[in-house]
Amino acid sequence: MEITREQFARVGGLLPVQRGNVRIDNYTFVNAVLWIVRTGCPWRDLPAEFGNWYSVYQRFSRWARAGVIERLFVALQTERIVSVGVEVLALDSTSAKVHPHGHGSLKKRGARPSAAPGEDGTPKFMWYPSTTALSRRSISDPGTSTTPPKDGSR
């Protein structure tokens, strides 16, 4: 997905003015970023026609921190030059390969004290449900009470 010079002219005013000895013009830079976005490749795989990958990355990083990249993509979508599609990829852990060292260290096989509360006494942690103000109010609502009020009125 490369944009033409005419399309670039519609959004080129949003980009900072180039100063100094710059080998890659903004038009080539925008096409390089669009290539990275389209392919999803690492920066190091950027084709040589777009210039040095590290120079393109550095400019992208600076412009991203300054908010220029966000403004550029908003303008590209507003002008209907580029449309962004959202794709979802879901992986199940059964299909993901893990590095041999990625499963963790060896586990100790002995019984843990908290695993058998009958042998060790009380468990190390107990959770008691707490009542909220709403549930306490509904439990002690005077209108539904079967006990007569203390003042004798009913």
Which of the pair, 91 or 47, is modelled with greater confidence?
Answer: 47
Q: How many helices (H) does the chain have, and how many strands (E)?
A: 6, 0
Q: Read off the pLDDT of each residue in 75-104 and give the average, rounded to a whole number.
A: 71
**C-alpha neighbours within 13 Å on the C-beta side of residue 123:** 6
* pLDDT bucket at 133, cuts 50 / 70 / 90: very low
Looking at residue 62, what is its pLDDT?
92
State the SS3 of 34-67: HHHHHHCCCHHHCCHHHCCHHHHHHHHHHHHHHC
* pLDDT bucket at 107, cuts 50 / 70 / 90: low
| Winning range, highest mean pLDDT, from 15-24, 33-42, 113-122 | 33-42
User: Cα–Cα distance between 72 and 85 in angstroms, integer?
Assistant: 17
Question: For a pLDDT cut of 90, what percent of the chain falls above it?
Answer: 30
Which of the pair, 47 or 152, is modelled with greater confidence?
Answer: 47
Tokens read off for 128: 């008691």
Q: What's the pTM?
A: 0.54
Looking at residue 57, what is its pLDDT?
94
